[in-house]
Each structure stands twice: as C-alpha cells, then as structure tokens.
Amino acid sequence: MKLLLDSTRCQGYGLCQEPAPEQVDLDEWGYASVRASEVPPGGETAAEAAVTACPNSALRLVK
C-alpha cells in the first residue's frame, strides 16, 4: 500500500500529520510531505486516518 500526496491540492492545514506522524511531515507553513510512499507494516490504519483528515483530498492510498 502506498500513501501518495498531490501537493497541488495541499493547503497547509496540517491535519494529516496528527494521525500519521511517522508517515507525514509538515514544513514550517504546515504543508505536508510524505516520508516514504510505502506504508510501513502496521501503519495502514494511521495512513487511512491521515487521508480522511485532509479536507482537500490531497492524500490518497493506492494498493
């Protein structure tokens, strides 16, 4: 499973990092970046929560 970020949709709310701090970093303005696209074992629930938390659908999961 991969966590992908469409940076053109990210508005810098930073809501995605709280559920998945091991997978999502924020810059000083709150814009997200994904540490590694591959979701680590056991990280699926956190990745799904991060996707759900984004109000602009900038994150998505693909299998």
CATH of the domain at 31: 3.30.70.20
Strand partners, 26: 32
DSSP, collapsed to helix, strand or coil, labels residue 27 as: coil
pLDDT digits (tens, 9 = 90+) for 3-13: 999 999 999 99
DSSP, collapsed to helix, strand or coil, labels residue 4 as: strand
Number of structural domains the chain divides into: 1
Of the candidates 13, 38, 37, 43, which has an alpha carbon nearest to the alpha carbon of residue 26?
13
**CA–CA separation, 26 vs 14, rounded Å?**
7
Chain-centroid distance of CA 44 in Å reads: 11
- Quote the pTM value: 0.92
pLDDT digits (tens, 9 = 90+) for 18-50: 999 999 999 999 999 999 889 999 999 999 999
Taking the CA atoms of the chain, what radius of gyration do you get in angstroms? 10
Enclosing domain of residue 34: 2-62
